Amino acid sequence: MEILDKLINIALIAATLRTTAPILLVALGGSFTTKAGIFNIGLEGQMLAGAFFAVLGSIWTGSAFAGVACGVAAALAFALAFAVLVVTFRANEVVVGLALNILAGGMTISLMKAIFGTRGSIVGHGIVGLPKVQIPGAQALLGSWAPLVSGFTPIVYVAFIAVPLLVLFYNRTRLGLYIRVVGEKPEAAEALGISITRVRYIASLLCGLLAGLAGAHLSLGYITMFTENMSSGRGFMAVAILIFSNGDPLKVLAGCLLFGFADAFSLRLQTFGFPSYLVLTVPYVVALTALFALSYRARPKIIKETLASMQKLLSTDRNSVPADKNPQ
Amino acid sequence: MAVELTGITKRFGAFTANDGIELAVRRGEIHAIIGENGAGKTTLMNILFGLLQPDEGSIRLNGEATVVADPAVAIKAGLGMVHQHFKLVPSLSVADNVFLGMEIRRHGLIDHAAQVARTHELSKRFGLHVDPTERVGLLSVGIEQRIEILKVLVRGARTIILDEPTAVLTPQESRELFQTLRSFVAEGMTVIFISHHLEEVMEVSDTVTVLRNGRKVATRPTSELSKDELVRMMVGREVSFDRRPRAALHGDVVLDVKDLWARDDRRLPAVRGASFSVRAGEVVGIAGVAGNGQTELAEVLSGLRPASHGEAWLKGRDLTTLTPAAIREAGFAHVPGDRMVRGVDRNASIAANTLMGRQHRAPWSRSGVLDWKAIAGNAGALIKSFDIRAQGAADPVKRLSGGNIQKVVLAREFTNGADFLLIDQPTRGVDIGAQEAIHSEIMRQRAAGRAILLISVQLDELAALADRILVMFNGRIMGEVSGDNADEDRIGMMMAGVLPEPVAEPLS
C-alpha cells in the first residue's frame, strides 16, 4: 500500500497532464486531417521540426514565445509541403508522410551539427523555456490539489482547452462540418460545390499549427533542451490514437490521457530502480494494448469479410448446403 | 408547361443516346418516363438538369427559353433532381444532411434547432417521415431517399425529377413514395418520374412518355393506356430479325433447375421458385421486362449470388453449392449481361481477355509460366474466326467498339469447351451488323450440341433464336411459349404480369 501511495499521488497526476499535453496537441492536429480524409503519418516529423525550430528561435530572439512561433512556422512549412504533395499532386499519403518524417529527422541532426557543432542534444546556449503560469488563488482554494490546475506552461492549457473548442468546431461551425463531409463523403461535398482541395489544405495547415505547438512544448515546456529524435514516436502514437478514435476530440483526449499516464508512470517507475529500457516501453505497451482491446469488437471490415468468405469456401468445398439456404 | 424539351439530341461518340426527343411536361402532373435500360431516360434527365449539354435541341423552363449550363441554373429555375445514387454523409444527422451547403446559422454557429424544426415541418407536410435528429448512417435506403427529396425541397424545387426512385425501395416504401408524389402535385408542384416498372407507372402517373433506343415512341395520358400496350411500346413490336432456320437435334437435359429462389441486394425475393431445364442443342430464351429477376437468376446460376432455396443441376453437380470457378470447371460458360463490368478487363489486351479463366491450363501455361506466344496465336485465330475488328491481339479492349468487345467475350466463352452457355443480353448496345454476327455464332453453338440459356429483354431477338421462350415477371416464370410461332401478344401479356395465375409446373 505504501509503495502504491508513493507511486500514485497528486504529483503523478500533474505529471500525467504535463506528459499528455504534447501528444494531445499533435493528435488534435491530426484530427483535422483524419476528419478531412487524409491519413497523415507525417505528424512525427512536423512535431520534431517544431521542437527544433522552437529551440533555435528561443536562442536567437531570447524569447520563449518567439521560439514557439518559430516552431509553429517550421511545422506549418512541413504541413504545407505535405498538402502540396498529397492534395494537389495526389501522391501517396504514407510515402509522403514517411519521407517528411525522415527529412525532419535528418535535417534537425545536420542543422544541429552545422549550427552548434554537436551531435545528440542542444542544452544551454541561452535557451529560454516557457514560463509556468501560476493561477492566482489556486493555492488558497485547493490547497494540496493546486498542482492539478496551476503551474503548467501555457501550451498545456492550450492543449486541454482545445478539446472542447474542437468539439464545438466540428459540430457547430461550417468549416468543421465541411471538413467532416470532405473526409466522409467527398462526392457529397463535390455535389454541393464544396472545394475538396481547399478544405484539405486548411485541415493540413491547422494540423501543422497544433503539431508545431506540440513540438515547442517538448523542447521549451517539458524540459528546456532539444535532443535528436526527441518526439520519440509520439507522432506515431498520435496516429494510432487517431485511427482508433476516428479523430473525435473526446476520444482523442481519452487515448492521450491513457498514454500520458503511462508515460508519467514509467518515469516514476524509473526512480524505483526498474531497468530503464523496459520501463520506457511501458507507455507504448499500455496504449497499444488498450487500443487493441477497444477496437477488437470494431475490427476492420476487411478482416470480417475475409473470415466470412473463408467460411463459405470451406463449407462449399465439402459440397454442403450454405448456411443461408432457408426456404422463403 | 413546366418543362418543354424540343429536338434534344445527344451523342456519345458513335452512339446516339437521345435522338430528337420532344417532351412537354404540364405543371401539376406526374409525368412518367418509361423505357428499357439504355433507352436514354437518364441521359435526357441529365440534360434537363444541366449535368450534360445537348448536341442539338432547346429547353424551355416555365415557358422561358433557358440554356441549362449547369445544375445551378436548373435549381434556380425551380428544378430538383433525386439521383439513383444518394450522396448523404452517414455521420451527420438527417437535418444536417438536408441543409448541407445552405446551413442556417446564428452568430456564426450552425443553428441545429432551427434546421431540425424546418426539416420536421417539411417532412410532416409531405408525408416524408423522418426523424431529423437521427444519424443518416443508421437509416434504411428508403429513408435516405426521403432525405434526398427533402434536400431538393429546401432548395425550393417546384419540379422534381426522380431517377428510378423505386429501384431501391421495398413495395411498402414505394407506396409511401407515391403518396408523397401525389401530395406534391396537390400543392401545385410537378413530378417527372423515371421508371422501367409498368405497374408503378400505371399506378402513379398522369401522363406517360415511352422512350426506346434513344427515341420517343409516344406520350399519352396514362388512363388511355393498358399494360400490354405499354409493354409493346417499350420493347417494340417491329420484328427486325428473321427467325433462324434450325434442325431439331435436342439431346439430353444438361441444366436442370428445380424450385430456385434468390434474394436481391435489398434482401427481397427476386427469383421465386424458378423451375426449368435446358437440353443439349436447344436455345431456351428468357423474356421479361428488365428487373424482373433475370439478372439475379443469371447471378445464381453462375455462382455470383447465393440461392436461398432450390437446386440447379449441371451434369450431376448442384451449381448452388459451387464457387464461380468450380462452376466454370463443371462446363459452364457465361456471357454476362454487363460486359464492361463482368465480361472484360477494359485495360487489358484482347489476348489477355481471351485467356482469362483458363490461364492455368495447357497449352496457355506450362509449369505455371504463361506461354504468351501460344496465347497471342490463339487470340489472333479468334480475332479472325469471330471477325473482331481490331488492329491486333495486343490492342487493349477499351479501344474496340461495343459490338467488338462483345465478340471478344463470346470468343472466349464459346471456345472453352463448356456444354452449357448462359448468354445474358448478347446484343445490348451493339450495332446491327454485329448483332447479326452474334446471332449466327449463337446458332452455330446450338448446332454443335450446346445447351443455351439466352436471357434478353429484346423480344425479336428471342423470337429469332429461341426454341422455347420462358417469360419472367416479378421473379416468377409466368409461362412458356414455343419459339416457332412466338405469339407476341401472349408474351407481352405475361411480361406485364397479366396472366391470371402463374403456371405451377411450366415444363417437363
Residue B322 lies in a domain: yes
Can you tell me the mean pLDDT for A105-110?
92
Does residue B87 sit in the same domain as residue B194?
yes
Each residue of B403-417: pLDDT tens digit? Answer: 889 999 999 999 988
| A 165-224: CB under 8 A from B | 168, 171-174, 177, 180-181, 184-185, 187-188, 191-194
Can you tell me the mean pLDDT for B305-313?
93
Each residue of A246-301: pLDDT tens digit? Answer: 889 999 999 899 888 888 888 777 777 777 777 778 777 877 777 676 666 555 55
Residue B338 lies in a domain: no
Of B105, B109, B306, the CB nearest to A322: B306
B182-185 long-range contacts (CB < 8 A, ≥24 apart) are B182/B30, B183/B125, B183/B126, B183/B127, B184/B126, B184/B160, B185/B28, B185/B29, B185/B30
Mutate to test the interface with A, among B51, B81, B92, B258 (most CBs of A within 10 A): B92
Does residue B389 sit in the same domain as residue B492?
no
**Distance from chain centroid for Cα B69:** 28
> Can you read off the three cell numbers belonging to residue B412?
472466349
The answer to whether B261 faces chain A, any CB pair under 8 Å, is: yes
Containing structural domain, residue A228: 21-247
Alpha carbon distance B236, B18 (integer Å): 17
Of A174, A188, A320, the CB nearest to B103: A174
Can you tell me the mean pLDDT for B167-171?
76
Q: In the Cβ-directed half-sphere of B286, how many Cα atoms lie within 13 Å?
A: 30
Alpha carbon distance A62, A119 (integer Å): 23
End position of a domain, from candidates B365, B397, B416: B416
Residue B18 lies in a domain: yes
Mutate to test the interface with A, among B84, B85, B97, B110 (most CBs of A within 10 A): B110
Closest by Cα among B400, B456, B389, B431 to B16: B431
Q: What angle do CA A279, A283, A288 make, to 5 degrees?
A: 130
Does residue B73 sit in the same domain as residue B98?
yes
Contact: B309, A319; criterion CB under 8 Å: no
What torsion do the CA atoms of B425, B431, B432, B436 make, to the nearest 10 degrees? -60
| B 310-349: CB under 8 A from A | 318, 320-323, 326
B202-206 long-range contacts (CB < 8 A, ≥24 apart) are B202/B227, B202/B230, B203/B178, B204/B30, B204/B32, B204/B178, B205/B30, B205/B31, B205/B32, B206/B29, B206/B30, B206/B31
Mutate to test the interface with A, among B81, B87, B259 (most CBs of A within 10 A): B87
Can you tell me the mean pLDDT for A42-68?
93
Asked if residue A323 has pLDDT above 50, the reply is: no
Which residues of A fall within a CB distance of 8 Å from B269? 328
End position of a domain, from candidates B219, B235, B251: B235
Alpha carbon distance B428, B290 (integer Å): 12
Contact B458, B235 (CB under 8 A): yes
What does the pLDDT read at residue A8?
A: 65
Give kind and range of the element (H or E) at residue A211: helix A196-216
Residue B397 lies in a domain: yes
Alpha carbon distance B274, B279 (integer Å): 17
Which residues of B fall within a CB distance of 8 Å from A327? 261, 308-309
With bands split at pLDDT 50, 70 and 90, how would you rate the model's confidence at A7? low
Closest by Cα among B194, B146, B186, B161 to B39: B194
Residue of B nearest to A192 (CA): B101
Residue B342 lies in a domain: no
Contact: A316, B323; criterion CB under 8 Å: yes
Q: Helix A249-270 to helix A234-245 angle, to the nearest 10 degrees? A: 140
End position of a domain, from candidates B235, B254, B274: B235
**Distance from chain centroid for Cα B270:** 14
Asked if residue B395 has pLDDT above 60, the reply is: yes
Q: What angle do CA B425, B426, B432 make, to 5 degrees?
A: 115
Containing structural domain, residue B180: 3-235
Does residue B147 sit in the same domain as residue B42?
yes
What torsion do the CA atoms of A174, A179, A181, A183 make, to the nearest 10 degrees? 180
Does residue B37 sit in the same domain as residue B153?
yes
Residue B77 lies in a domain: yes
Each residue of B22-68: pLDDT tens digit? Answer: 999 999 999 999 987 678 888 999 999 998 999 999 999 998 999 99
The answer to whether A143 faces chain B, any CB pair under 8 Å, is: no
CATH code (residue B49): 3.40.50.300
Can you tell me the mean pLDDT for A228-235?
86
Residue of A nearest to B91 (CA): A184
Contact B466, B281 (CB under 8 A): no
Alpha carbon distance A86, A88 (integer Å): 6
The answer to whether A323 faces chain B, any CB pair under 8 Å, is: no
Does residue B493 sit in the same domain as residue B392?
no
The SS3 call for residue B7 is strand
Asked if residue B239 has pLDDT above 80, the reply is: no
Residue A54 lies in a domain: yes
> Can you read off the three cell numbers belonging to residue B461?
431477338
Mutate to test the interface with A, among B81, B91, B98, B116 (most CBs of A within 10 A): B91
What does the pLDDT read at residue A328?
A: 39
Cβ neighbours of residue B153 closer than 8 Å, sequence gap 6 or more:
B80, B122, B126, B160
Asked if residue A308 has pLDDT above 70, the reply is: no
CA distances from B486 to B36, B153, B285, B464, B480 (A): 21, 48, 11, 9, 10
Distance (Å) from the alpha carbon of B286 to chain A's nearest alpha carbon: 23
With bands split at pLDDT 50, 70 and 90, how would you rate the model's confidence at B437? confident
Mutate to test the interface with B, among A311, A316, A326 (most CBs of B within 10 A): A316
Does residue B25 sit in the same domain as residue B130?
yes
Q: Is the peptide bond before B396 cis (omega within 30 degrees of 0)?
A: no
What does the pLDDT read at residue A321?
A: 40
The SS3 call for residue A245 is helix
Q: How many domains does chain A have?
A: 1
Distance (Å) from the alpha carbon of A324 to chain B's nearest alpha carbon: 6
The answer to whether A318 faces chain B, any CB pair under 8 Å, is: no
Q: How many residues does chain A have?
A: 328
Residue A112 lies in a domain: yes
Residues linked to residue B256 through DSSP beta bridges, in sequence order = B277, B313
Residue B341 lies in a domain: no
Asked if residue A179 has pLDDT above 70, the reply is: yes
Q: How many domains does chain B have?
A: 3
Model pTM?
A: 0.72
Contact: A316, B322; criterion CB under 8 Å: yes
Does residue B142 sit in the same domain as residue B52?
yes
Alpha carbon distance A103, A47 (integer Å): 12
What does the pLDDT read at residue A319?
A: 44
What does the pLDDT read at residue B226?
A: 85
Residue A127 lies in a domain: yes
List of E strands, chain A: 121-122, 226-227
Does residue B399 sit in the same domain as residue B425?
no
Number of H helices and number of E strands within chain A?
14, 2
Greater confidence (A270 vs A179) lies with A179
Does residue B186 sit in the same domain as residue B251?
no
Residue A31 lies in a domain: yes
Contact B147, B134 (CB under 8 A): no
Contact: B101, A192; criterion CB under 8 Å: yes
With bands split at pLDDT 50, 70 and 90, how would you rate the model's confidence at A140? confident
Distance (Å) from the alpha carbon of B293 to chain A's nearest alpha carbon: 16
Residue A306 lies in a domain: no
Alpha carbon distance A34, A210 (integer Å): 14
Does residue B52 sit in the same domain as residue B88?
yes
Residue A291 lies in a domain: no
Contact B158, B75 (CB under 8 A): no
Alpha carbon distance B378, B243 (integer Å): 32
Pairing of strands B317-318, B109-110: unpaired
Contact: B326, A193; criterion CB under 8 Å: no
Cβ atoms < 10 Å from Cβ of A280: 16
Cβ neighbours of residue A114 closer than 8 Å, sequence gap 6 or more:
none
Contact B34, B210 (CB under 8 A): yes
The answer to whether B137 faces chain A, any CB pair under 8 Å, is: no
Residue B85 lies in a domain: yes
Contact B44, B18 (CB under 8 A): yes
Does residue B427 sit in the same domain as residue B478?
yes
Contact B9, B35 (CB under 8 A): no
Inter-chain Cβ pairs, chain A and chain B, closer than 8 A? 71
Residue with cell string 458513335: B14
